[in-house]
Structure 1
Amino acid sequence: MIRLVAAAGAVLTAIWAAGHQDQAAGILAMLLAIELVLDAFNRGEWSLRRPRVVEGIPGTLAVRRILAVLAVDAAGLWPRRITELAGVEFARALLCLDGLEMAGWARAEWETPEPVGRPRRRFYRLTETGRANALRLLGLSEWTELTS
């Protein structure tokens, strides 16, 4: 998202430079804007098509990565570990996990007993509904029907 904001700033700079007859600055700003947008595309941070939505949950890249991690691990993972495995920023992962929990796709439980020397962890698991919806969102529901 930051790259897209930077790209928009570069476009505005190019427009300003064109208005002030500074052709070189305008060309450089437009090249920077193009590079930033292409980088955002390559990183999967921006797409021209809308994400698939299942039961009100949009299939953004972060949600798909987190669902893939949760679908594989049935024992439950804590947010820091989920972010490492999914390759998602910690704050974004927390927002996604909260949304999945509110939608009934995931269940969270506090670690018991309380550990000594570190804070308790909150473990996340997919519910049965969440697992079925995750497979649909990831486009794997048809595949699992063929293999079962």
Structure 2
Amino acid sequence: MEPLSRVTDATVDVLRALRAGGRNVWGLQVIKMSGRAPGTVYPVLERLERAGWITSEWERDDARPGPRRRLYKFTSEGASAAVELLAERDAQRATSRRVAPRTDGRLA
């Protein structure tokens, strides 16, 4: 597994959606859960897969009507890395909220 070269807010949203979605999550589900557009989500999923954070495979349910879905799931290393990265982001967000500017322009 490779580290991610850049971690955007969209990447964080996709990682959160993948974690919340369970074992096999399909693209439209990630789009709905993340609130991001398909043109944002699918490139992030592709980067995560190339880096070895997730794997994907085509759905094998022939009984379900409609087109096949591409199912995504974390690799074991990717799941651990995602937990770590999301915890770091949450800590950064909490810190940035605590260090808010005062009304006189100085840091609190």
Max radius of gyration: which structure?
Answer: 1
Compare relative contact order (CA 8 Å, sep 6+) and give the higher one, 1 or 2.
Answer: 2
DSSP 3-state at the match of 2:46: helix
Structure 1 counterpart of 2:66, from 96, 106, 118? 118
Superposition pairs for residues 29-48 of structure 1, below 5 Å? Answer: none
Structure 1 residue ranges, 4+ long, deviating more than 6 angstroms after superposition: none
Structure showing the higher helix proportion among its residues: 1
CA-to-partner distance for each residue in 1:60-100, whole Å, 9 max, x for gaps? 11100110111223221111111000011111100000000
TM-score, length basis structure 1 = 0.54
Which residue is 1:12 aligned to?
none
Specify every segment of 5 or more residues in structure 1 that has no aligned partner in the other structure, as ranges: 1-53, 144-148
Query: Post-superposition shift, 1:59?
Result: 1.8
Structure 2 counterpart of 1:75: 23
RMSD: 2.0
Give structure 2 stretches of 5+ with no counterpart.
92-108
Q: Give percent identity, aligned residues only.
A: 28
SS of 1:58's partner is: coil
Aligned residue pairs, count: 88
Q: Provide the C-alpha distance between the structure 2 equivalents of 1:90 and 1:122, rounded to a whole number of angstroms.
A: 14
Q: What is the TM-score with the length of structure 2 in the denominator?
A: 0.72
Taking the aligned partners of 1:137 and 1:110, their CA distance within structure 2 comes to: 27
